[in-house]
Amino acid sequence: MTEPRRARATEAFFGRRKGKPLRERQAAHLEHLLPSLRLDLAQHAPAELTTLFPQPVKRIRLEIGFGGGEHLVHRAAEDPATGFIGVEPFVNSMAKLLGQIEARELANVRLYDDDATQVLDWLPDASVDYIDLLYPDPWPKRKHWKRRFVSKVNLDRFARILKPGGLFCFASDIDTYVNWTLIHCRDHAAFEWTAEKAADWLTPFAGWPSTRYEAKARREGRSSAYLTFRRV
The four Cα atoms 162, 163, 167, 171 give a dihedral, to 10 degrees, of -10
Cα–Cα dist 11/60, whole Å? 26
**Active site annotation includes 137:** yes
> First and final CA of the chain: distance in angstroms?
23
97 Cα distance to chain centroid: 14
Choice among 79, 115, 121, 137 that is catalytic? 137
> Which residues, 6+ apart, have CB-to-CB distance to 163 below 8 Å?
126, 127, 128, 129, 231
Cα–Cα dist 6/40, whole Å? 20
Residue 224: burial class (beta carbons within 10 Å; 0-12, 13-18, 19+) = buried
Ordered alpha helix ranges (H), 63-115:
70-78, 91-104
The catalytic residue positions are 137
